């Protein structure tokens, strides 16, 4: 089954003869593939299958997930060589958020585009998926500890939703000053 990232636009060739393909993929001339497609291409096949499994699970469960952010999270986690892919710690989550997602994105996509801003919320959903299917390797931190960096650094509340921004009021001595 092809993911939505693997689907292409097609055109019908009215000049097609019997035995020849009547449908051909549309290729933009001189254009590079979109950054999201290049990022998916960088994942090994087993990780693309896992990505599709997570996406389908999230859609079935009605969870928030961004396919591009999921690609960046999975690619950055796979790029880490100091631990097995299925082993997660709160330090891993924090390093992914602060350093590794952006570094992987810049290395793989290399078009100057920023990494997806929805990485924290997508990472929350990925961790829920792993917890739901017993996908954590022995030695992984408990789910509550894995969520800590997402709350204190990722901009999420304790339910995994984007935290409401607090409006700062000006200090009374500064009111009226501009």
Q: Give the tens place of pLDDT for each residue, 125-145.
A: 999 999 999 999 999 999 999
The first and second tokens of residue 129, run together, are 């998926």
The first and second tokens of residue 26, run together, are 């549309």
b/e code 19-40 from CB counts within 10 Å (16+ = b) = eeeeeeeeeeeeeeeebbeebb
Number of continuous H segments (helices) and E segments (strands) in the chain: 7, 2
Q: What CA–CA distance (Å, rounded) separates 41 from 33?
A: 10
109 to 47, 101, 151: CA distances (angstroms): 17, 12, 28
Instruction: Report residue 10: phi and psi, to 5°.
Output: -130, 155
pTM listed for this prediction: 0.72
Q: Give the tens place of pLDDT for each residue, 70-103.
A: 999 999 999 988 889 999 999 999 999 999 999 9
Q: Give the tens place of pLDDT for each residue, 22-34.
A: 444 444 444 555 7
Instruction: Note the pLDDT of residue 59.
Output: 95
Nearest to 2 by CA among 28, 40, 33: 40
DSSP string, 126-153: HHHHHHHTT-PPTTPPPHHHHHHHHHHT
With bands split at pLDDT 50, 70 and 90, how would you rate the model's confidence at 153?
confident
């Amino acid at each position: 089954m092809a993911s939505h990232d693997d689907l292409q636009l097609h055109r019908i060739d009215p000049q097609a003869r019997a035995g020849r393909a009547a449908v051909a993929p549309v290729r933009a001339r001189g254009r590079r593939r979109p950054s999201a497609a290049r990022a998916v291409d960088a994942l090994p096949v087993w990780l693309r299958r896992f990505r599709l499994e997570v996406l389908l699970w999230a859609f079935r469960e009605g969870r928030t997930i961004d396919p591009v952010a999921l690609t960046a999270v999975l690619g950055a986690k796979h790029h880490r060589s100091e631990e097995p892919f299925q082993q997660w710690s709160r330090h891993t989550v924090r390093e992914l958020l602060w350093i590794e997602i952006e570094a992987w994105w810049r290395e793989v996509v290399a078009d100057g585009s920023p990494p997806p801003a929805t990485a924290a919320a997508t990472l929350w959903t990925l961790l829920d998926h792993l917890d739901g299917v017993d996908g954590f390797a022995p030695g992984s931190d408990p789910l509550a500890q894995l969520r800590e960096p997402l709350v204190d650094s990722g901009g999420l509340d304790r339910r995994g939703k984007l935290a409401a921004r607090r409006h700062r009021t000006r200090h009374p001595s500064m009111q009226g000053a501009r």
